């Protein structure tokens, strides 16, 4: 359920910022500065922004441990920042950059998050996962 909600909310936020940049941009822009300070939905006009923040802040620790939680939180905030940045730059830059800005937004956050979604604590203990990663880095 966690992964389904995360995916739906991330896709919604991506779509809505492209269609309502003037309304959603300032709200999403405030998420990184307010993250962890307030989880009340009254702070956001769109309830999906609040739910996305609550999902990351409150639900992630139910499925993952310290390292993966950090990756998910950081990657999610990076995703939001690049989403806003892409819209802030506008179409003039996009004409010359092609899809590079969208590529960097995806690269900056959400791809890495999905890579770590594959290893919830109930399937693979974080210690085993980190040990596996450390062995791979010596190859």
Query: Helix (H, G, I), strand (E, B), or coil: what is residue 103?
Result: helix
Q: Over its length of 139 residues, how does the chain's per-residue pLDDT go in tens digits? A: 888 999 899 888 888 877 777 777 777 777 766 776 666 777 777 888 888 988 988 899 898 888 888 889 888 888 888 777 777 766 555 566 566 656 665 566 677 788 778 778 787 787 887 787 777 765 5
Domain ranges of the chain: 2-136
Q: Name the pTM for this structure.
A: 0.73
Write down the residue that tokens 């993952």 correspond to. Answer: 64
């Amino acid at each position: 359920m966690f992964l389904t909600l995360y995916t739906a909310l991330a896709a919604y936020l991506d779509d809505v910022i492209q269609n309502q940049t003037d309304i959603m941009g300032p709200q999403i822009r405030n998420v990184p500065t307010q993250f962890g300070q307030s989880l009340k939905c009254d702070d956001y006009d769109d309830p999906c922004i609040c739910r996305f923040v609550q999902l990351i802040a409150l639900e992630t620790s139910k499925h993952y441990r310290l390292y993966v939680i950090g990756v998910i939180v950081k990657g999610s905030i990076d995703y939001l920042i690049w989403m806003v940045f892409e819209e802030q730059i506008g179409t003039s830059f996009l004409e010359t950059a092609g899809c590079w800005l969208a590529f960097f937004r995806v690269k900056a956050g959400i791809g890495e998050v999905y890579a770590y979604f594959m290893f919830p604590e109930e399937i693979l203990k974080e210690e085993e996962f980190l040990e596996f990663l450390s062995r791979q880095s010596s190859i």
